[in-house]
Structure 1
Amino acid sequence: MNTHKLSKTVLAVALGSVLVSGAAFAQNETVDKAHSTAESAGQKIDNTMDKVGNFMDDSAITAKVKAALVDDETVKSADISVETEKNVVTLSGFVASQAEAEKAVAVAKGVEGVTSVSNKLHVKDDQSQSMGKYAGDTATTGEIKAKLLADDIVPSRHVKVTTTDGVVQLTGEVESQAQSERAERIAKAVDGVKSVKNDLQVKK
């Protein structure tokens, strides 16, 4: 009888030890999972903050370049579009001469934080542009933008349109060569467009 009781006691102690060990293991596993989740969340937050930081840096650089172009009397900044991605500045639009284009690039390169400048500037074919032509160009640009917006293939929000004396320039970034060619065809089909300079970049 005493032996039977002793066996039950030993069994109870053994089971108790297993349960305690199991609980401790489960607790350790839960803690490990919590640490892992916290680290993962922390990493995601860091990555998001890096992206936000880069965006803020790019926006600040764009603003600084635009201000520098406005301050320079030899450059007509109103006809120049400025975009920045990862500290690389892209200048697009139309200028009166090659010298003005080179000056604009030099001004942009002199801005703090700019690592390089991509020159997509074009020299105007006709330097004497009347107000009538300007109004016509504005209407042409608006019509092209509307047609790109209505198109299901071209990512219109990534495409910038500039028109000078009937010459259209397309800049920005698209997903494929097919999208680039589609955008060019849409622009060429608009009344009043003499030619299209397709400077769209295809994502690598």
Structure 2
Amino acid sequence: MKNSKFARSMMAIVLGSVLVSTSVFAEESLMDKAKNVANDAGAKIDSSMKKVDGYMSDSAITARVKSALVDAKAIQSNDISVVTEKGAVTLNGFVSSQEQAEQAVTLTKGVDGVKSVNDKLHVKDGTKQSVGGYVDDSKITGEVKTKLLADDIVPSRHVKVETSNGIVQLSGTVENQAQSERAQSIAGAVKGVKSVKNDLSVKP
């Protein structure tokens, strides 16, 4: 009888030990899983933050370049647009002289964070432009944008349109050469357009 009670006691102790160790193991397993999940989440957050930082970096570079151009009294920056992608800055638009274009490029290269400069600036027509001329340019720009927006082939949201003295500049990025040629054709067909400077980049 005593042996039977002793055997039962030993069994209870052994079972208790097994249950405790199993419980501890389960807790450790859950803790490991929790740590792994936390690490994975942290890695994903770090990754997404890097992407955000990259985007902010380009935005900051664009802002710094625009500020530098505005501060440069020798450069008429009103007709210059700045686009930054991964530190590479593209200058689009019109300037009064080739000297201004060169100054804008040199100034941009000196801005912190700029890796390279793509110069797509054009020198304005030398003839003096009247107030009516500015209105016509705005009207032309609006009409070109409207026609590009209505077109099924050209991705208009990626195409920037600027006009000076009836000369239209197209800049931005398109998927293929056919889209680039289509955009140029549409712009050239708008009333009042003297010529089209096609500075659209085709994605590789």
TM-score by length of 1: 0.81
The match for 2:7 is none
Matches within 5 A, 1:149-168: 149-168=149-168
* Structure 2: distance between partners of 1:101 and 1:194: 22
The secondary structure found in structure 2 opposite 1:193 is coil
Closer, same or farther: CA 77–38 of 1 in aligned 2, 3 Å: same
Alpha-carbon contact 1:171-1:200 (below 8 Å) kept: yes
Identity of matched residues, %: 63
Is residue 44 from structure 1 mapped to residue 44 from structure 2 by the alignment? yes
How far apart, CA to CA, are the structure 1 residues paired with 2:32 and 2:186?
A: 57
Give 1:142 deviation, angstroms: 0.7
1:167 is matched by which residue type in structure 2?
A: I
Offset at residue 153 of structure 1 (A): 2.4
CA distance in 2 between partners of 1:116 and 1:82 (Å): 13
Whole-Å separation in 1 of the counterparts to 2:107 and 2:129: 25
Output one character per residue of 1:110-165: Cα deviation in whole Å (capped at 9) or x when no partner. Answer: 11111111100011133411111111010000111112222232222211100011
Aligned match of 1:144: 144
| Partner amino acid, structure 2, of 1:75 | I
Give the aligned partner of residue 73 of structure 2.
73
Q: Work out whether 1:82 is the aligned partner of 2:82.
A: yes
Alpha-carbon shift at residue 178 of structure 1 (Å): 2.2
Against the structure 1 CA distance between its residues 169 and 184, is the aligned structure 2 distance closer, same or farther, given a 3 Å change threshold? same
Name the CA shift for 1:29/1:85 in 2 (closer, same or farther; >3 Å): same
> Which segment is superposed worse, 38-47 or 57-66?
38-47
Q: Which residue of 2 aligns with 1:198?
A: 198
Structure 2 distance, partners of 1:152, 1:27, is 60
Task: Rate the CA distance shift 1:28–1:60 in 2: closer, same or farther, 3 A.
Answer: same
Per the alignment, residue 130 of structure 1 pairs with 130
Change in 2 beyond 3 A, CA 1:25/1:147: farther
Q: Distance in 2 between matches of 1:76 and 1:172?
A: 22
Kept after mapping to 2: 8 A contact 1:144/1:190: yes
Q: Secondary structure of the residue that 1:192 maps to in structure 2?
A: coil
CA apart distance, 1:25 = 9.3
Task: Work out the CA distance in 2 between the residues paired with 1:174 and 1:156.
Answer: 9
Cα deviation digits, residues 35-86 of structure 1 (max 9, x gap): 5554444333222211211111111111111111111111000011111111
- 1:117 equivalent to 2:108? Answer no
Structure 1 stretch 50-59 or stretch 75-84: which is displaced more? 50-59
- Name the SS of the counterpart of 2:173 in structure 1: strand
Q: Kindly tell me the number of residue pairs found equivalent between the two proteins.
A: 204
1:181 — aligned with what? Answer: 181
Deviation string for 1:12-51 (max 9, x for gaps)?
xxxxxxxx99999998887776655544443332222112
State the distance in 1 between where 2:152 and 2:34 align: 44
- For the structure 1 residues 106 and 28, does the alpha-carbon distance in structure 2 shift closer, same or farther, using more than 3 Å as the test? same
Instruction: Name the Cα RMSD after superposition.
Output: 2.9
